[in-house]
Chains A and B, each alone.
Chain A
Amino acid sequence: MDIVVYSPVWFFGYDSICELISMFITFFIGVYAYRIFKLSGQRKYKFLYLSFILLGIAFLAKSITNWIIYKEWVTQQLYVGKVIQLYALYNLGYLIHVVLALSAYMLLVLLLWDVRDRRVISLSFIFVIMMTILTEQVFASFHIISFILLGFICAEFWKNARKTKKKSSYFVFAGFAVLMLSQLVFVFINRLPAFYVAGEIVQLAGYVLLLITLLSIFGKK
């Protein structure tokens, strides 16, 4: 029974803060997309707001899980019963994070590919469940799958940026490209704790780019 902590001790808690910031950014985007969905009633905006809200909840789950484990680790108040509890919490938090993050990325892929067939949508989410089961305890697999899904997403955003030639479109592409890069960095967390730190920072940078996009749009009169 292992609880694997990839973060170096000095980074304990900082990763939770990075994830909380990412959570706020994704909720911000999700809430705005929800407003547009309420006004337009269109399915595509529903998929957009759902994907960002799911991502936000995924980050919240990971952040809370990490925080609790680090707190117990640092205070060294560990005994058999507590370790069993922590293990259950770790598994639950990890599971929630993975299933929600993969669902969010899958929703974005389905949205950008304009998939309307309900059978294909259902099949995609069956794959998400299967991928979650396969990635249990193998964090690298989750990041590889995320990298692939984000690759598809980036390709669509690049096409859109080239088509619209708007600065905001290029920023959205850049944000997701950086997120894709962060997943690649996370794949190597088993090798060196520094990769975990780098991955968290790069991931946060990706979400900050998306926040800059949103703020630049709100800043326009």
Chain B
Amino acid sequence: MKEKRDRMQIVHDILQAIVDKQGKIKPTHLLYKSNLSHGRLMHYVQDLVDKDLVKKDFDDSSTFYIITDKGLKFLAEYRRMREFTDSFGL
């Protein structure tokens, strides 16, 4: 059985999903890619918007989520953090 993702991993998966769509993604696509329920996803996304890792944008009455520079830095930092925690077996 696949191990349950921790909060950091979920944030990473959300941001990576946005990067994979050239930095801009619709909520529906993000829902499929993130493998989260709608409620949980919205909770995480709002948290990311509040922390300035992601910003909301509107385009012809469609909502998009765009990754910010801070979000890109987090992704780079995440790999280092993962390496650190893996080296301690956590």
Contacts and interface: CB of A to CB of B under 8 A. Distances in A.
Interface of A: 32-33, 35-36, 39-42, 44-45, 48, 111-112, 156-157, 159-160, 163-164, 166, 168-169, 171-172, 213-214, 217-218, 220-221
Given A159-B89, A168-B87, A221-B76, 18 more contacts: A35-B81, A36-B8, A39-B11, A41-B7, A42-B8, A45-B85, A45-B90, A48-B88, A48-B90, A157-B88, A157-B89, A166-B83, A166-B86, A168-B84, A169-B87, A217-B87, A220-B79, A220-B80
B3 interface: no
Given A36-B8, A39-B81, A220-B80, A44 B90 contact: yes
Chain A contact surface mostly = helix
B59 interface: no
Interface of B: 6-8, 11, 76, 79-81, 83-90
Given A39-B8, A40-B7, A217 B90 contact: no
Given A217-B80, A220-B80, A39 B7 contact: yes
B47 to A, nearest CB: 11
A209 to B, nearest CB: 12
